[in-house]
């Protein structure tokens, strides 16, 4: 049965729909040897679909796991600078699993990896606003005025941030810890929000995605999501 190319590529687990659209526009997707166009459909049972020269493969078994990413790793599948990849922390026998969203090189904590392209697409789509909770350590003290700005919106160079939730504020010597929950996911958003109110982030760790929590998972370790966790995650993502 024919499906839109971007949906087909996403369903294969190779990348999200938005990433697939970019590849199609770049002329990197072909159907039976000819360059495909955005908006086309294909039937993988009858037609050969290739992305960047590699034939599209479908695995009926999907796998989603949670990794406690250490600092010093990046969330891409390859890196021209030869930095360490988050996927390097996984056994090769698990096959190709793709990061859902990104954590900065210097940010640690909860990272999902999956071969379920549809799930990845829904989790990263702005319309679903799956919340992300971070444990933040900053130099100085988060006073009431700073907290109010974080919770009502901080003006950044790409616009005012959406309201966030601040909780569990506590002192640690000359520093301060707090938890920050966001419903959006801009590039380096937590760090930029803190910079904008005069606080410098010295440690940043994602501890929850929706109602999925990192818990006691050790740094650098992973675990496969339980069936109930996966169902809740899909519900949060609108599936």
Boundaries of CATH 3.30.70.580 in the chain?
A: 64-127+215-236
- Vertex 102: Cα angle to 65 and 110 (nearest 5): 45
Boundaries of CATH 3.30.70.1560 in the chain?
A: 132-209
Contact 51, 29 (CB under 8 A): yes
Please tell me the distance from the alpha carbon of residue 210 to that of residue 217, in angstroms, as a whole number.
17
Averaged pLDDT of the chain: 88
Helix residue spans in 37-161 (DSSP H): 117-124, 144-152
Res 24: pLDDT? 93
Reply yes or no on whether the pLDDT at 212 is more than 80: yes
CATH of domain 64-127+215-236: 3.30.70.580
Please tell me the distance from the alpha carbon of residue 209 to that of residue 134, in angstroms, as a whole number.
9
> Which tens digit of pLDDT belongs to each residue from 122-181?
787 767 678 999 999 999 999 999 999 999 999 999 999 999 999 999 999 999 999 999
Domain made up of 132-209: CATH architecture? 2-Layer Sandwich (3.30)
List 104, 116, 144, 195, catalytic entry: 104
Reply yes or no on whether the pLDDT at 92 is more than 70: yes
Reply yes or no on whether the pLDDT at 59 is more than 60: no
> Which tens digit of pLDDT belongs to each residue from 217-232?
999 999 998 888 888 8
Q: Is-catalytic flag, 195?
A: no
- 3-state SS, residue 208: strand
What whole-number percentage of the chain has pLDDT above 90?
Answer: 52
Torsion of CA 164, 167, 171, 176, to 10 degrees: -20
CATH 3.20.20.150 fits 3-55, yes or no: no
């Amino acid at each position: 049965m024919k499906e839109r190319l971007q949906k087909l590529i996403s369903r294969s687990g190779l990348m999200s729909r938005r990433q697939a659209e970019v590849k199609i526009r770049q002329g990197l997707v072909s159907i039976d040897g000819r360059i495909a166009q955005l908006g086309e459909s294909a039937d993988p049972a009858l037609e050969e679909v290739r992305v960047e020269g590699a034939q599209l493969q479908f695995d009926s078994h999907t796998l989603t796991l949670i990794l406690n990413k250490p600092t010093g790793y990046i969330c891409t599948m390859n890196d021209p600078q030869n930095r360490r990849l988050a996927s390097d922390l996984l056994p090769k026998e698990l096959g190709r699993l793709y990061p859902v969203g990104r954590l900065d090189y210097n940010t640690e904590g909860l990272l999902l990896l999956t071969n379920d392209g549809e799930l990845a697409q829904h989790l990263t789509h702005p319309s679903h606003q799956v919340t992300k909770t971070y444990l933040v350590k900053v130099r100085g003290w988060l006073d009431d005025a700073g907290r109010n700005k974080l919770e009502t919106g901080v003006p950044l160079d790409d616009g005012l941030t959406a309201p966030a939730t601040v909780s569990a504020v506590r002192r640690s010597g000359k520093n301060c810890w707090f938890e920050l929950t966001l419903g959006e996911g801009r590039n380096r958003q937590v760090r930029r929000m803190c910079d904008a109110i005069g606080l410098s982030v010295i440690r940043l760790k994602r501890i929850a995605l929706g109602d999925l929590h990192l818990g006691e998972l050790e740094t650098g370790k992973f675990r496969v999501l339980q069936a109930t966790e996966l169902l809740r995650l899909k519900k949060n993502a609108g599936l």
